[in-house]
Structure 1
């Protein structure tokens, strides 16, 4: 069984975005692993494994427009089902 069930991916479009600030906030406030937040001050891609993807969405939406949101259930995928 996986420790973190949901693979959460999205793009944030905004102004003055900071990879470091996003990494720091998510690391300190949302339990999970495999965090990637990469991009520039206008567009950041976030990838994170967590059991609470709604918290990632809520935080990222507070920073700008979010889109290309993908949340996959890795536990289902591990069992050969569609995620």
Structure 2
């Protein structure tokens, strides 16, 4: 049986709901590279919005994980590279 996502989107993309509760609207995303739904549909509580990482300046989504390239002024990259720390 095909998943709902597979029936709504081309192969390799996931269907993520947009709009309010009960909305039938969706967008097709590549969760391995999408900045606002990195790793899964943030509208369903999965994945992460890389653009919302506090103090991050340049970010990316690599293989479903947020990557911080640089932090904004007044922040530095944490030792594990997963966040920006306020100075």
TM-score calculated relative to the size of structure 2: 0.27
The structure carrying a bigger strand percent of its residues is 1
More relative contact order, 1 or 2 (CA 8 Å, 6+ apart): 1
- In our comparison, the structure showing a higher alpha carbon Rg is 2
